[in-house]
Homo-oligomer: A and B are copies of this chain.
Amino acid sequence: MRPITQEKIDKLTEFMQKKKIDSVFIADWENARDVNMSYLTGHPMDANLIITSDGETILLPWDVELAEDYAQVDTLVTDKESRNNYADYVKDTVKTDTPIIGFNTGIPYRYILSIKKKLPNAKLFDEPLKLDDLFRELRATKSLQELDKLVEAGKIGNKTINDIRKFAEEQKGTENDLSFLVMKKMREYGAEDNSFPSLVANVNRSHMIHCHPAANNNVYSANGLALIDFGAVYEGYCCDITIPISFGKLTAEQKKIKKTCFRAYEEAIAAIDIGVPLWKISKAAVDVIEEAGYHIPHGLGHGLGLTVHDSPGIRQKPTEPEKLEEWTEVVVEDGMVFTIEPGVYVKGLGGQRLENDVMIRNGKVQVYTKSEPIEIE
């Protein structure tokens, strides 16, 4: 069974019929992932997918055996060359010489070129951003089966928080040691993988949005503000947690960074309710941060699902008229799952980010991961 409902597939085919799209073509490959392939088929990775306007799903996988185990599609193409000859398969699905083919805008341009070569009179669906929007909308609310998997991923994250606390309390070991510990523990607890390489930053690196490398061989428990941002994958579904940690005596400014981050978090969580526009949740936190004289260099939160950056995004309402024109207000709905992760960063002093995962289930707001500040004095 697919983790998503037939209703979502039906929405896609309704959209295609309304927009007169003959076939949608989706490609998911190394360096150009499109999670919609997994989302619509259950097949984990490396395949092209064609969806016809009748709702037929045709999968062209690299690894046919893997697809036999995982994919839930109408037609599984076993021809080993199909991943190169995909344009022929697209051609076979359409009934006219002038079909309309739909793409996500994330698709590498080469696929469009190849399909245009095989079907020179094909039209590209001329509002491709709307196809993106549709997929984002479909993925923004989860089925119950998806929610269950997200909760399991969150539980693995929660167990790992205890290990991180112990590691911090012992005040020894490097960023890399903590990174490995987290990876090992998450697998022990049932994760199939990290949802991304854990970002482990001591005071010298915690001011970076996304420290590079993700962890290094420096001592983790140096005095000051540190953090760890990590997550587990459970049956394809991701969690994402950041724990702000402080070691030793802090300066007044470091205390202010901490306090501002945590207050922004509390305000954002308090703002979440069914029907609330997502930008208002963002504003609740960003106002706190900006009033304190800081700037948050990233969005307040993002959806979680088969990818760690899923829809919906929790961001500010655009102010520029040009962007406002393209923007659509999205409100909190049942089935949404997203992170809340305000951060305050000052080079030289370090940064703090507090991130938990929130789910709306049966009309209730549940903060289902359990990150909280760790303070080692």
**Residues of A184-200 contacting chain B, CB below 8 A:** 184, 187, 192-193, 197
| Among candidates B65, B104, B208, residue contacting A65 with C-beta atoms closer than 8 Å | B208
Cβ-defined contact, A66 with B213, below 8 A = no
Each complex incorporates copies of this chain amounting to: 2
Against B, the Cβ 8 Å flags (1 = close, 0 = not) of A164-202 are 000000000000100010011001000011000100000
Residues of B within 8 A of A112 (CB): 109
**Residues of A330-356 contacting chain B, CB below 8 A:** 347
| Among candidates B65, B105, B110, B187, residue contacting A105 with C-beta atoms closer than 8 Å | B110
**A108-B32, A193-B197 given; A212·B180 CB < 8 A:** no
Against B, the Cβ 8 Å flags (1 = close, 0 = not) of A195-223 are 00100000000001110111001000000
Chain B residue at minimum C-beta to C-beta distance from A114: B105
Against B, the Cβ 8 Å flags (1 = close, 0 = not) of A97-114 are 000000111111110110
Minimum Cβ distance to chain B for residue A318 (Å): 10
Residues of B within 8 A of A32 (CB): 31-32, 106, 108
**Residues of A210-264 contacting chain B, CB below 8 A:** 210, 212-214, 217
A20 part of interface (Cβ distance < 8 Å): no
Minimum Cβ distance to chain B for residue A296 (Å): 11
- How many A residues are at the interface, by size bracket? 35 or more
| Among candidates B63, B132, B176, B297, residue contacting A80 with C-beta atoms closer than 8 Å | B297
A123 part of interface (Cβ distance < 8 Å): no
A359 part of interface (Cβ distance < 8 Å): no
Against B, the Cβ 8 Å flags (1 = close, 0 = not) of A48-79 are 00000000000000110110000000000000
Chain B residue at minimum C-beta to C-beta distance from A345: B65
Docked CA distance A103–B183 (Å): 38
Chain B residue at minimum C-beta to C-beta distance from A46: B210
Against B, the Cβ 8 Å flags (1 = close, 0 = not) of A26-47 are 0000111110000000001110
Residues of B within 8 A of A107 (CB): 108-109
Cβ-defined contact, B108 with A106, below 8 A = yes
A270 part of interface (Cβ distance < 8 Å): no
Known: A65-B208, A80-B297. 19 other contacts (CB 8 A): A31-B32, A31-B106, A32-B32, A32-B106, A62-B209, A63-B212, A103-B109, A104-B109, A106-B109, A108-B108, A108-B109, A109-B109, A109-B128, A113-B128, A176-B187, A180-B180, A180-B183, A180-B184, A183-B183
